[in-house]
C-alpha cells in the first residue's frame, strides 16, 4: 500500500474515532502511531512520538499559553467582570436595550483579561441574565445576546486561540494579538447598533429602565472608571507587546502577576482558596490543550510522511477557479467543523493541511488567523452543538430551553457574517495595527 493511500485511511479512521466520542488528543496519538508503524516501524513510531512530545513543547509560544490562561483564571476569580458590567451598565443607561449593549461591551472589556469566549459566556450568564430577567427583557433576546457577545471575547487579545494558531503556523503571537483588536471592537459596535435598531422596532424586546433615564454625562464617565483594573491590565499586556518592551511570553507573565496583585488589592483573591481554584483551573485547561496540540503535531508529522499535504496543495493549486472560491470553500469546511469540534481541535485537525494552501495562494497569514477565529466564533453559537450555547445553558438553570438560546442568536450571526465579509473584502482593517508594530 502506497503512503498516500495509508494516509487517506488514517484520516478516515481519525474521523470515525472522533464520531465515536473518543477524546480528540487520544485520536491523534493513536492514529498517528498506527500510521507511522505501517509506514516505517513500531520503533520509529515510538521515536517520533517521543521527539514530538519534547521538541514541540520546548518553544516560547507554549510558554505563553499557560501564562495567559492563568491570567484569565485570576481575572475570572477576581470579580473583574462584575466591575466591568456595573460601569458599562451606568454608562449605557437610557439607550434602547441598554443591558444588551452593556453585555456586548462588557464581554469585549473582559476579553482583554480573559481571552476565553466560554468564560465570558458563563460569567456574564450569571451577571447579566438575572438583570435582564428582572427588567422583563424578552427571554430569547437576552439569552442570544449573552451567548453571542461571549464569542468575541476570544478575538480581543490576549487570546489563547491566537497562541494556538501561532504554534501551528509559526506566526508572531504579538502581531496576531494586535490584529484582533479592531475586529473585536468592530463586532461589539455592530452588535450594539443591531440591538438599538431591533429594540426601537420592537420595544417589547427590552423595556426601558425608568430609574436610569436621566444620568448625566459626567456620571456616565465616572462610572466607566470602575473598569480601571481591566484598562491597566490591557495597557501592561498590549502596550508592552506593541512597543516591543515585552515578548508575548513576558507579557503573559507580567499580565498574570498584575492580575494577581490587583485581585488581592481589590479583595477577592485575598482568600487563598480563590487562588488555589484559579491555579487548578488553569493547570487543567493548559494540560488539556497541550495534550491536544502534542497529539496534533505528531499526527501532522505523520501526514507529512504520507505526502498528503503536498499532494492536496498541488491538486488545489491546479484548480482553474479564483483564489476567493478556494478560500470560501476552506472557511465553509471550518464553519461546519466548528459546530461539532472544539476550536483547538479544529486548528489541530486542519491547519497542517490548509495553511500551506493559504500561503501558496498569497494570503497574509496574520489576516487569515483573524478570519479563522471569526469563523470559529460564529460556529460557537450555531447548532447542532455551539459550545457557547451549551455553556450558557449550564449556568442559566434548568428552566432555560436550548431552543430559546438558538432563537436569540440568529440576528447576531447575521451581524457576524456581515463583519466577516467586510474583513475579507478589506484586509487592511485587520492588518493596520500589526503593520505599525516595532519589529
Q: For residue range 109-162, list pLDDT tens digits in order.
A: 877 777 677 777 777 888 888 888 888 889 899 999 988 888 877 788 877 788
- Asked if residue 254 is part of any domain, the answer here is yes
- CB contact burial 411-421 (16+ within 10 A = b; e otherwise): bbbebbeebbe
- Asked if residue 74 is part of any domain, the answer here is yes
Integer-rounded Cα Rg, in Å, for the chain is: 22
CB 28 within 8 A of CB 14: yes
Query: How many domains are contained in the chain?
Result: 1
Least confident of 304-318, 327-341, 385-399, 402-416: 304-318
- Asked if residue 396 is part of any domain, the answer here is yes
Closest among 245, 243, 241, 345 to 292, alpha carbons compared: 345
Distance CA 370, CA 424 (A): 10
Is pLDDT of 214 > 80?
A: no
* Residue 380: strand, helix, or coil: coil
- Asked if residue 319 is part of any domain, the answer here is yes
pLDDT at 438: 55
* Single pTM value for the model: 0.80
The secondary structure element, H or E, covering residue 177 is helix 173-201
Q: For residue range 62-80, list pLDDT tens digits in order.
A: 777 788 788 878 887 777 7
Beta carbons within 8 Å of 240's beta carbon, 6+ residues apart: 246, 250, 251, 254
Q: For residue range 305-351, list pLDDT tens digits in order.
A: 787 766 766 676 667 778 888 888 888 877 777 666 667 777 777 78
Q: For residue range 26-47, list pLDDT tens digits in order.
A: 888 888 888 888 888 888 888 8
- Asked if residue 283 is part of any domain, the answer here is no
Distance CA 339, CA 413 (A): 13
Beta carbons within 8 Å of 365's beta carbon, 6+ residues apart: 169, 171, 355, 358, 359
* Higher pLDDT, residue 303 or 408: 408
- Asked if residue 116 is part of any domain, the answer here is yes
- Asked if residue 103 is part of any domain, the answer here is yes
- Asked if residue 2 is part of any domain, the answer here is no
Band the pLDDT of 270: cuts 50, 70, 90. confident
Angle separating helix axes 248-265 and 60-77, nearest 10 degrees: 20
Band the pLDDT of 359: cuts 50, 70, 90. confident
Range of the domain at 368: 59-270+307-436
Band the pLDDT of 61: cuts 50, 70, 90. low
Amino acid at each position: 500500500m502506497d503512503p498516500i493511500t495509508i494516509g487517506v485511511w488514517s484520516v478516515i479512521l481519525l474521523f470515525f474515532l472522533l464520531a465515536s466520542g473518543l477524546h480528540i488528543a487520544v485520536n491523534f496519538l493513536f492514529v498517528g502511531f498506527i500510521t507511522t508503524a505501517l509506514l516505517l516501524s513500531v520503533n520509529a513510531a515510538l521515536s517520533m512520538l517521543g521527539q514530538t512530545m519534547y521538541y514541540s513543547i520546548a518553544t516560547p509560544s507554549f510558554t505563553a499559553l499557560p501564562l495567559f490562561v492563568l491570567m484569565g483564571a485570576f481575572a475570572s476569580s477576581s470579580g473583574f467582570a462584575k466591575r466591568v458590567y456595573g460601569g458599562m451598565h451606568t454608562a449605557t443607561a437610557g439607550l434602547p436595550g441598554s443591558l444588551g449593549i452593556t453585555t456586548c461591551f462588557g464581554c469585549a472589556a473582559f476579553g482583554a483579561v480573559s481571552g476565553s469566549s466560554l468564560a465570558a459566556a458563563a460569567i456574564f450568564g450569571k451577571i447579566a441574565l438575572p438583570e435582564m430577567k428582572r427588567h422583563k427583557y424578552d427571554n430569547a433576546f437576552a439569552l442570544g445576546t449573552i451567548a453571542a457577545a461571549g464569542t468575541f471575547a476570544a478575538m480581543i487579545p490576549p487570546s489563547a486561540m491566537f497562541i494556538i494558531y501561532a504554534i501551528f503556523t509559526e506566526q508572531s503571537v504579538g502581531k496576531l494579538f494586535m490584529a484582533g483588536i479592531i475586529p473585536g471592537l468592530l463586532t461589539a459596535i455592530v452588535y450594539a447598533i443591531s440591538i438599538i435598531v431591533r429594540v426601537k422596532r420592537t420595544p417589547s424586546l427590552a423595556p426601558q429602565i425608568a430609574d436610569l433615564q436621566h444620568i448625566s454625562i459626567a456620571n456616565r464617565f465616572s462610572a466607566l472608571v470602575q473598569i480601571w483594573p481591566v484598562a491597566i491590565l490591557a495597557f501592561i499586556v498590549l502596550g508592552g507587546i506593541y512597543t516591543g518592551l515585552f515578548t508575548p511570553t513576558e507579557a503573559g507573565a507580567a499580565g498574570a502577576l498584575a492580575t494577581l496583585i490587583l485581585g488581592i488589592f481589590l479583595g477577592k483573591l485575598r482568600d487563598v482558596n480563590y487562588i488555589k481554584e484559579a491555579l487548578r483551573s488553569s493547570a487543567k485547561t493548559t494540560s488539556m490543550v497541550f495534550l491536544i496540540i502534542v497529539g496534533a503535531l505528531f499526527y501532522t508529522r505523520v501526514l507529512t510522511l504520507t505526502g498528503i499535504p503536498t499532494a492536496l496543495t498541488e491538486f488545489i493549486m491546479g484548480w482553474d477557479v479564483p483564489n476567493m472560491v478556494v478560500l470560501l470553500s476552506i472557511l465553509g469546511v471550518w464553519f461546519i467543523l466548528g459546530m461539532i469540534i472544539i476550536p483547538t481541535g479544529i486548528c489541530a485537525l486542519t491547519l497542517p493541511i490548509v495553511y500551506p494552501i493559504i500561503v501558496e495562494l498569497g494570503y497574509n497569514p496574520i489576516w487569515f488567523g483573524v478570519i479563522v477565529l471569526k469563523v470559529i466564533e460564529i460556529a460557537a453559537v450555531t447548532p447542532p452543538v455551539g459550545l457557547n450555547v451549551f455553556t450558557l445553558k449550564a449556568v442559566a438553570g434548568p428552566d432555560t430551553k436550548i431552543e430559546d438560546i438558538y432563537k436569540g442568536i440568529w440576528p447576531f450571526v447575521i451581524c457576524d457574517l456581515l463583519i466577516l465579509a467586510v474583513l475579507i473584502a478589506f484586509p487592511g482593517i485587520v492588518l493596520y495595527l500589526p503593520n505599525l508594530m516595532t519589529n
